[in-house]
Structures are given as C-alpha cells and as structure tokens.
C-alpha cells in the first residue's frame, strides 16, 4: 500500500472524528438558526440544510463565491471508493453545518487549517458532488451501471478544449457567501481525502451583485440568465432538472446532470466592439437587459412578429439559445454561472470569462442541443470554451446514516 493511500485511510479516521466532535455543535447551531433570516443572522452563520432528497447547490440562489473542481480518483477497488465517498460526506456534513474542530493535541498537526478562525462558520456553504463517465470503468465494478446519458463532454465545433482542464472521475462544487469559506472547505476535503483522489483541474468563480438591479452581469457587461428556469417552481425542476426513478437506473433518482464549461472571454477585443454590434450579437440591451424588441429585462421577445430578424437578428445569442418554439422547449436548462478572473496569460492578455454551469435531465438532449443551435454564432469570435465536463450529480444524503453515492456503491 502506498504512502499516499495510507495517508488517505488515516484521513478517513480523522474525518470521522471531526464530525463526531465538531459536527454535533454545528448541527445544533444550524437548528438554532433555522428560523432566522440571512439578514438577521451574524455574518457567516446561516446554514443550508445538508440532508435531503436532492443535493444542495442546485436550486439554491447562487452564493457570491464558488469553486468547481474535478478529481482523478486514486482509490483502489470498491471498498476504498466507498471509504472515499463516506469521507467526503462526513466532511461536507460538518462543513455545511459549521462548528468547532476537535483538539488533536500538541504532538500532532492541527485538526483544521484555521483559515476561517477557530470555529468554522456555515456561511451558506453548499457541497455538491458528481461523478464523471470515467469512474465507470473496470476499476470499481461499475462499468455495467454507467447511465447512457453520462458521457465525456464532446468537443463542439467552436471549442478550444485543453485536455488537462476537461473531464474527471469526480466533481466537487463548493459555493458560499465568502471566499475564505470556499478556500477552507476545499483544503479540508483535499486534506481528508489525500491519497484517495487528486485534483485534475479547478475553476474559481464569483457572482457580481445586480447592477443596478435584476439579473447579475457577466464580464462582457450583459445580464446573464434572464430567461432561466424558475427554481421556485417544483414542476419545472421535475420536468427539466431532477432525474426520475428511470427503469434500469433507479439509483440516480433525485440526482441531476451538471455541465461545467470554462469559457474564456476575449475581453480586450470585445471592448473595442461598438455598442450596437454587441447588443445585436446578444439580442438584448446592455443597460437594461431588455430584448431588442422590448423595454424591460423580463419582456418576452416576439420572434413570430420578427421572422426575418429586423429587430433581433436571427443569429443573436438569445434567439438561437432559446428560440421559444415547441421544438426547443424540451432543451431548457437551469443555469448557475459564475464569472472568473485568472489574471493574465503568458503574453499579458487578461484571462477572464465565465464558469458556465447548468443542470438538466439529459446533457445531450438539453445542453448539447442548445450548443448545436449556437454553432457559428457571431459571439464565437470573442469566446473560447477551454475546459469543463459532464457530471452526474448524485442523489442527496437522506439522513445521518446515509452517504453520497450509497445507492451507486451498493450496486452488484
């Protein structure tokens, strides 16, 4: 057994101890805060429920900060994979509730990084875990159980995918109200799973506050996600997002498919384009977010009254992405994007863009169908999809005795 794997197995024990000691207090805090609004609670104390039919981090309003991380799994065999998922579950349960890590003693390393202080705040942290198609190979006896819709993300015609920033065995989405909470959670989970999985790629993101109101803007200056699905309407979530207990794969029920796309925006070129041309590429006003044939952000464009694209060009992003026809209706998705700013590239150009994230029942019939309609749109001269992947977000953790992936790992 390798040194890394022995460290991983030791980490499992440490993770369980941390939950047993720190998690109790965190659960009590979370319960005590259940009736308090986010505005009334002290900064960082609001908690999102961890247990449920679905994982958190999908229909919650997007928190201000996020990181999306893909991992290569190093665990050997089904037993070690099960230990890995139990450890991730234990850490997520503690971190999302908040609490005080246990004292290890002066002889050992501290139980926590201390990034967020001696007591870990809940800070509306959500931990969302998914699995990639590559997990269903011969290593863990899961090959026969890979859902048909779970495939590697394809290379679309306008993509510039870097293989080092694409795909992965396991995905982790961490979202919270403050940046240090996200950083702390990633370090905690990475520490307790060392030897069991290794980071393959990572994309950090943030959500701009609405300016001046309405939907937040992306780094091209346009409101992003105006015609999104309504997370407050369960019927829409059941139709487009949540997986039913489908015949042959009932273990996926309550999960969803996540698409992550790291899209670089060539902002220095974009900033030289006239306002008129920018708006025609999107099909919306930059200031208000209204469609070019409307006055307000939430106005519904009337494509039927504009068949040749005089008001909204036929090539406009919003028109191709959502033509609002009976044929396009089944491809609707739940968007949950984040902006990113990585500084500069090797030649000094700004490296900024979008961590596009969406959830759906079938990535090929929904996300990929939209991508096929967008092929060759004018925006492709100003954006470069460079990474990401398709992941099956596992069903939620039902109670304190359950763990992420339990149904999958119980398959024969």
Range of the domain at 38: 3-150+162-208+396-409
Residue 258 counted as domain residue:
no
Q: Which tokens belong to 322?
A: 């959502």
User: Distance between CA atoms of 102 and 21, rounded to whole angstroms?
Assistant: 6
User: Distance between CA atoms of 85 and 80, rounded to whole angstroms?
Assistant: 9
Rounded to the nearest 5 percent, the helix, strand and coil shares of the chain are 30, 20, 50
Quote the number of domains for the chain.
Answer: 1
- Do residues 332 and 367 make contact, with C-beta atoms less than 8 angstroms apart? no
Query: What are the strands, taking DSSP E only, across 158-281?
Result: 170-176, 197-206, 256-265
pLDDT given at position 38: 39
Q: Which tokens belong to 200?
A: 């393959």
Residue 98 counted as domain residue:
yes
Residue 350 counted as domain residue:
no
Q: Which residues of the chain carry a pLDDT beneath 70?
A: 1-43, 247
Largest CA distance in the chain: 75
- 3-18 vs 77-97: helix crossing angle, rounded to 10: 40
Q: Please give the C-alpha separations between residue 360 and each of 153, 169, 336, 365, in angstroms, as whole numbers.
A: 14, 19, 11, 9
Residue 259 counted as domain residue:
no
Residue 301 counted as domain residue:
no
Residue 58 counted as domain residue:
yes
Residue 128 counted as domain residue:
yes
User: Distance between CA atoms of 224 and 38, rounded to whole angstroms?
Assistant: 24
- Do residues 75 and 196 make contact, with C-beta atoms less than 8 angstroms apart? yes
β-bridge partners, 355: 262, 338
β-bridge partners, 167: none
- Do residues 201 and 24 make contact, with C-beta atoms less than 8 angstroms apart? no
pTM to 2 decimal places: 0.91
DSSP tag of 250: G
Residue 112 counted as domain residue:
yes
| Cα distance between the two ends of the chain | 26
Residue among 226, 219, 116 nearest 176 (CA): 116
Q: What are phi and psi of 200, to 5 degrees?
A: -100, -50
- Do residues 24 and 100 make contact, with C-beta atoms less than 8 angstroms apart? no
């Amino acid at each position: 057994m390798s040194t890394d794997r022995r460290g991983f197995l030791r980490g499992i024990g440490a993770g369980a101890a941390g939950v047993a000691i720190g998690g109790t207090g965190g659960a009590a805090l979370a319960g005590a805060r259940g009736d308090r609004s986010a505005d009334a609670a002290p900064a960082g104390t609001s908690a999102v429920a961890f247990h449920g039919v679905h994982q958190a981090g999908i229909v919650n309003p997007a928190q201000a900060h996020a990181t999306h991380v893909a991992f290569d799994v190093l665990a050997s065999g089904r037993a070690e994979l099960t230990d890995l998922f139990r450890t991730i579950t234990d850490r997520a349960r503690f971190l999302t509730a908040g609490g005080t890590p246990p004292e290890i003693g002066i002889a050992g390393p501290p139980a926590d990084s201390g990034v967020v202080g001696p007591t870990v705040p809940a800070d509306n942290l959500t931990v969302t875990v998914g699995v990639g198609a590559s997990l269903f190979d011969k290593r863990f006896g899961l090959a026969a159980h890979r859902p048909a819709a779970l495939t590697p993300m394809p290379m679309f015609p306008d993509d510039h995918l870097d293989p080092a920033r694409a795909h992965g065995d396991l995905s982790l989405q961490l979202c919270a109200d403050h940046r240090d909470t996200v950083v702390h959670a990633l370090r905690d989970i990475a520490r307790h799973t060392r030897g069991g999985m290794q980071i393959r790629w990572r994309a950090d993101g943030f959500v701009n506050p609405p300016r001046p109101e309405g939907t937040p803007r992306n780094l091209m200056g346009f409101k992003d996600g105006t015609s999104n699905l309504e997370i407050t309407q369960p019927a829409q979530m059941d139709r487009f997002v949540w997986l039913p207990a489908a015949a042959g794969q009932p273990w996926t029920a309550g999960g969803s498919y996540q698409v992550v796309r790291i899209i670089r925006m060539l902002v220095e070129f974009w900033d030289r384009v006239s306002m008129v041309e920018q708006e025609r590429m999107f099909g919306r006003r930059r200031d208000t977010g209204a469609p070019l044939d409307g006055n307000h952000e939430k106005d519904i464009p009337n494509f039927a009254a504009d068949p040749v694209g005089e008001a909204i060009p036929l090539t406009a992003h919003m028109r191709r992405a959502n033509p609002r026809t009976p044929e396009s209706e089944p491809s609707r998705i739940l968007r949950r994007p984040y902006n990113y700013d990585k500084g500069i590239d090797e030649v000094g150009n700004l490296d900024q863009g979008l961590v596009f994230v969406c959830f759906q029942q079938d990535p090929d019939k929904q996300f990929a169908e939209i991508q096929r309609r967008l092929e060759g749109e004018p925006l492709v001269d100003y954006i470069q999809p460079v990474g990401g992947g398709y992941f099956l977000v596992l069903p939620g953790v039902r109670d304190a005795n359950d763990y992420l992936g339990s149904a999958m790992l119980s398959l024969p």
